[in-house]
Amino acid sequence: MTTPTRPFAALLFDMDGLMIDTEALSERVWRQTATEQGIPLSHEQLQMMVGLSTERCLQYLADTLPEGHDVRAFGQLARQRYHQMLHQEEIPLKPGILNLLDWCTRENLPHAVATATQRTLADLKLARTGLQRYFAHTVAGDEVAHSKPAPDVYLKAAQLLGVLPADCIVLEDSAHGAQAALAANMRVIIVPDMAPPPAQIAKQALAVCQDLYAAQALLAALA
């Protein structure tokens, strides 16, 4: 394991909603598909799905939607539309992410992606946004036994980098992702995307930053 020369040895990055602006796109697809299918899908339910893998989203919907709806078929149609949009539409970056990744490179700071997204989609998003070149190590949600909010993706990312979990700082936008980082015994900086974190999660975070510029300033001060 690497011995850190700063108060942290590595940065671990969530992807959707943290580095790339895809959560709003995903919500739009879920909402439109639900309306067409006559499925009652509330804003609160959509918020609860942020940061979860597709399978966890489908399980959540199966548990919360009224009986009589084909959740599996609904999810398949929504996924097809989402994939199509990812191939055809521009995928915008979150403000400040390139500055932060360039800073990591200049500082020779180990970093990796740990996402709940499936491998094929993660590779597509990283390639289309040009972020792939920044990361030698990425972990996808379908490559571990349990996806977020379980800690598996973050523990595997730390292992790939050869650092102890306690020496990692995680950058996350969602409550589920922050829970995963905390469960991995890692410190977490939350940069909210769709909604602010619950109070109990915010209290456990190293910080809640308004954007990635503020997160980079904090990390530079710590280093």
**Regarding predicted confidence, which is higher, 5 or 125?**
125
- The percentage of residues in the chain with a pLDDT greater than 90, rounded to a whole number, is 62
The pTM for the full model equals 0.81
| Nearest by Cα to 214 from 159, 175, 171 | 171
Determine the Cα–Cα distance for residues 96 and 216; give it in Å rounded to an integer: 8
Which residues have a catalytic role annotated?
14
What is the predicted pLDDT for the residue at 151? 98
Beta carbons within 10 angstroms of residue 26's beta carbon: 23
pLDDT tens, position by position, 182-212:
999 999 999 999 889 999 999 999 999 999 9
- pLDDT of residue 32 exceeding 90, the answer is no
Question: Going by DSSP bridges, is the β-strand pair 10-13/111-114 parallel, antiparallel, or unpaired?
Answer: parallel
Question: What is residue 92's DSSP assignment?
Answer: P
pLDDT of residue 2: 45
- Rounded distance between C-alpha atoms, residue 12 and residue 137, angstroms: 10
Q: Is the pLDDT of residue 118 over 80?
A: yes
DSSP string, 2-30: PPPSSS-SEEEE--BTTTB--HHHHHHHH
Task: Give residue-wise pLDDT tens across range 129-172.
Answer: 999 999 999 999 999 999 999 999 999 999 999 999 999 999 99
Does residue 51 sit in helix, strand or coil? coil
Does the structure show a pLDDT above 50 at 69? yes
76 in helix, strand or coil? helix
Q: What is the pLDDT of residue 3?
A: 45
- Predicted local distance difference test score (pLDDT) of residue 52: 75
Helix (H) or strand (E) holding 189: strand 187-190
* 3-state SS assignment for residue 113: strand
Read off the pLDDT band of 18 (50, 70, 90).
very high
Question: Which range, of 74-88, 170-184, 205-219, averages the lowest pLDDT?
Answer: 74-88
CA distance 86 to 89: 6
Ranked by mean pLDDT, the top range of 14-28, 82-96, 187-201 is 187-201
Residue 207 φ/ψ, nearest 5 degrees: -165, 160
SS3 assignment, position 121: helix
